[in-house]
Chains A and B, each alone.
Chain A
Amino acid sequence: MNEDLKKTLLNPIFKGNPITVLVLGICSTVQLKGALVMALSVIIVTGLSSFVVSLLRNSIPNRVRIIVQLVVVAMMVILVDQVLRAYAYSIDKQLSVYIGLIITNCIVMGRIEAFALGNKPIPSLLDGLANGAGYGMILVIVAFFRELLGSGTLLGFRVLPASYVPNNLVILPPMALIILGCIVWVQRSIQKDLQEK
C-alpha cells in the first residue's frame, strides 16, 4: 500500500479523528451492542457514499451538487435501515430513528465535500471507511463506559458484581458529552500538537 493511501486510512482514526479533533457528527448510544451496530452502519454509509459520489464526481452539475450528494447518502442510509429491520430487528428497534438520522451526520457529507469530490473512487472509499471507523471507535468507547457504569453490564452480560449500584447519570445524554470531553482531554495530553494555544 502506498504512503498516501495509508495516510488516508490511518489519519481519521486517531490524529484527525472526525469526532475528537474535527468535532463533527457527535452522537452516542447507551449500550455497547447498539454502538457497534451504529458504528458499522456509519462505516458502510460513509464508505459507500464517498465511493459512489466519487464515481459521479465529474458528471455532477455543480449547482445541484449538494442535492445529488444528499440523494446518494439518503439512499444508503435507508438501505442500511431496511436491511437492519429485516435481519437485526431487535437492535433496529433499539436504535429506532437514529439509524435514519445518519443522513444528518456531518461526517458523511463533510467527507464527500472535502474528499470524494476531488479524488478517485478507491481512495474515496477508503477515506469514507476510515472516517466512519474513527467515528465508530469513539462511539464504542463512550458506549463502553456508559453501559459499564450505567448498568454494570457489557453487551448485555453482567461484568460488575451485583452489589454495584448503577449510576443513572451516565445513562442520561449529558454524560455522553462529558465522557467525550474526557476522551478529547486524554487525546490532547498524548498529542501535544493538538492543544490550542
Chain B
Amino acid sequence: MAKNFFDKVRPTFSKGGKLAWLHSSFDAFETFFYVPNRVTRKGCTHVKDCIDLKRLLIIVVIALMPALLFGIWNLGYQHSQVFGLGWGFWQMVWYGFVKIIPLYLVSYIVGLGIEFASAQMKGHEVSEGYLVSGFIIPLIVPVDVPWWMLALAVAFAVIIGKEVFGGTGMNIWNPALLARAFLFFSYPSKMSGDTIWVGGLSKALAGGTPWKGGAVVDAVSGATPLSHASLDGLSAAGTSAWNLFLGDIPGAVGETSVIAILIGALLLIGTGVASWKIMCSSVLGALFVGWLGTVGGVTDIPCWEQLLMGGFAFGTVFMATDPVTSAQTETGKWIYGFLIGALCITVRLFNPGYPEGMMLAILLMNTFAPLIDHYVVNANVKRRLKRAKTV
C-alpha cells in the first residue's frame, strides 16, 4: 500500500516534477521504508561501506534494542527505588517509556532536521547515518537533561561534527559521543555528580539540602545515590559486581546493563557488522591498565570490575566499533581498540575531574585512527618492498 503511494508520487519529485527540489527528502523517506530501487550510487558519500548502508544501520539499531528495553525498565525501577514507590513492572516500564520518548523526539527531530536541510541545500541525497547516532544519543545522556540542551548538543554534533566534514562517512568523530561531550563540557554541573542519573531525582533535590555522598568514578557516580555515604569502594556503596553486570543501578539509560549490551555485541559480531577485533583489544587494553592500577596501588578496584563500570561496555561495543570513525586496517583495529581501553581506564584512575573516561578515550582515538591506519599501511608497504628486494 505504502509502496504504491511512493510509486505514485515519485514523478512529482523526479527531475522536472513539481516538487523536484524536494527530491532528496523523498528519497530518504522512500528508502527508509523500502530497499531502494537502485543500490548505492557511484561517487556518493558512502565512502567506506560496500553493502547498502541502511540495512547495516538497521542491524545496529536492533542490536541496541536489549540495552534500550532494559534501560527503560531500569529508569522506572530506579525512580521507584529512590522515592520508595513500590511500583509494579508495568508501571516502571511506563515511567521509563514516558521519560525516554521526548529524548528520542528531540534527538531525531533536530538531528534529522539538520541532515535534511543540509542535504537539501547541497543537493545531496539524505544520508541515513544519523539513524544510529540519533538512536544512541538518548541512551548515553542523563535522562533528566533539559530538552533544549539536548537539542543544542545534537545540533552541534551534526553540524560541527559531521556536516562540515562532508556528512555521513566523512566525519572524524562519532557524532553521538560528540553530542555527549558537548553536554559534558558545556554544562558540567548538569552532567556530573550522582543525582543526575535517576529520573526526577535532581529536580527533587534542587530545592532541598545538598546531596551527601560525593562520587568520583563514573561507575560510582551511578552506584551511590541510595547509600548516602561517601564512597570507599563499590561494596561499601552496596553495589556488587553482579549488580553492575545485570545493570539494575542508576546510570545513563543504555549503559548500565552489561548483559544487555553483550547480547547486542553477539548480534553485531555474528552479522559481521562490528569488528570483534576492536572489542577484544579494547577489553584487553582496559584489563591491562586496570591491572597496572591495582598492582601500582592506584586503585582497589579489580581490573575485571572496571569492565562492568560506567560507559565502558556500551562504548566498546557500539561506539568504538563505529565503522566510519574507527581504524580501517586489521592491525590498526587491534592498536586502536587497545588504546581505547587503556586510555579509558587511565582517565578513570588519574583524572577525578573528568570521570567518564570512555567518552574521552574514544573521541581521542577517533582522532588518531587515520594516523594509525597510515602507519599500518606504510609498514605494510615497507615490508613488502623489502621482501621484493630480497627475492
Chain A: residues with CB nearer than 8 A to chain B?
Answer: 165, 167-170, 172, 178, 181, 185
Query: Across the interface, do A169 and B160 meet the contact criterion of CB distance under 8 Å?
Result: no
Q: Complex formed: what's the CA distance from A165 to B188 in Å?
A: 11
Residues of A within 8 A of B187 (CB): 165, 167-168
| Interface residues of A, dominant DSSP | helix
Q: Which of B160, B164, B186, B188 has the most CB of A within 10 A?
A: B186
> In the complex, what's the smallest C-beta–C-beta distance from B183 to chain A, in angstroms?
9
Determine whether B182 belongs to the interface, using a CB cutoff of 8 Å to chain A. yes
Determine whether B185 belongs to the interface, using a CB cutoff of 8 Å to chain A. yes
Q: Complex formed: what's the CA distance from A49 to B187 in Å?
A: 43
Q: Complex formed: what's the CA distance from A170 to B152 in Å?
A: 13
Query: Across the interface, do A178 and B185 meet the contact criterion of CB distance under 8 Å?
Result: no
Residues of B within 8 A of A178 (CB): 160
Residues of B within 8 A of A185 (CB): 164
> In the complex, what's the smallest C-beta–C-beta distance from B366 to chain A, in angstroms?
15
| 16 A-B pairs (CB sep. < 8 Å) | A165-B149, A165-B187, A167-B186, A167-B187, A168-B185, A168-B186, A168-B187, A168-B188, A169-B182, A169-B185, A169-B186, A170-B186, A172-B185, A178-B160, A181-B164, A185-B164
Q: Complex formed: what's the CA distance from A167 to B187 in Å?
A: 6
Residues of B within 8 A of A181 (CB): 164
Residues of A within 8 A of B182 (CB): 169
Residues of A within 8 A of B185 (CB): 168-169, 172
Q: Complex formed: what's the CA distance from A167 to B189 in Å?
A: 11
> In the complex, what's the smallest C-beta–C-beta distance from B122 to chain A, in angstroms?
13
Q: Complex formed: what's the CA distance from A107 to B182 in Å?
A: 32
Residues of A within 8 A of B149 (CB): 165
Residues of B within 8 A of A168 (CB): 185-188
Residues of B within 8 A of A165 (CB): 149, 187
Chain A: which residue is nearest B159 at the CB level? A182
Residues of B within 8 A of A169 (CB): 182, 185-186
> In the complex, what's the smallest C-beta–C-beta distance from B163 to chain A, in angstroms?
11
A-B interface, 9 closest residue pairs, ranked by CB to CB distance from nearest: A169-B186, A169-B185, A167-B186, A168-B186, A168-B188, A178-B160, A172-B185, A168-B185, A169-B182
> In the complex, what's the smallest C-beta–C-beta distance from A146 to chain B, in angstroms?
13
Q: Complex formed: what's the CA distance from A181 to B163 in Å?
A: 13
Known pairs A165-B187, A167-B187, A181-B164 / 13 extra A-B pairs, C-beta < 8 Å: A165-B149, A167-B186, A168-B185, A168-B186, A168-B187, A168-B188, A169-B182, A169-B185, A169-B186, A170-B186, A172-B185, A178-B160, A185-B164
**0/1 string, B165-195, CB within 8 A of A gives 1:** 0000000000000000010011110000000
Chain A: which residue is nearest B189 at the CB level? A168
Q: Complex formed: what's the CA distance from A178 to B182 in Å?
A: 13
Q: Complex formed: what's the CA distance from A185 to B182 in Å?
A: 21
> In the complex, what's the smallest C-beta–C-beta distance from A75 to chain B, in angstroms?
40
> In the complex, what's the smallest C-beta–C-beta distance from A30 to chain B, in angstroms?
14
> In the complex, what's the smallest C-beta–C-beta distance from B203 to chain A, in angstroms?
15
Q: Complex formed: what's the CA distance from A185 to B149 in Å?
A: 25
Chain A: which residue is nearest B153 at the CB level? A169
Q: Complex formed: what's the CA distance from A168 to B181 in Å?
A: 12
> In the complex, what's the smallest C-beta–C-beta distance from B167 to chain A, in angstroms?
15
Q: Complex formed: what's the CA distance from A172 to B187 in Å?
A: 12
Chain A: which residue is nearest B146 at the CB level? A165
> In the complex, what's the smallest C-beta–C-beta distance from B121 to chain A, in angstroms?
11
Chain B: which residue is nearest A167 at the CB level? B186
Q: Complex formed: what's the CA distance from A178 to B186 in Å?
A: 14
Q: Complex formed: what's the CA distance from A165 to B160 in Å?
A: 21
Chain A: which residue is nearest B185 at the CB level? A169
Chain B: which residue is nearest A149 at the CB level? B186
Q: Which of B160, B182, B185, B188 has the most CB of A within 10 A?
A: B185
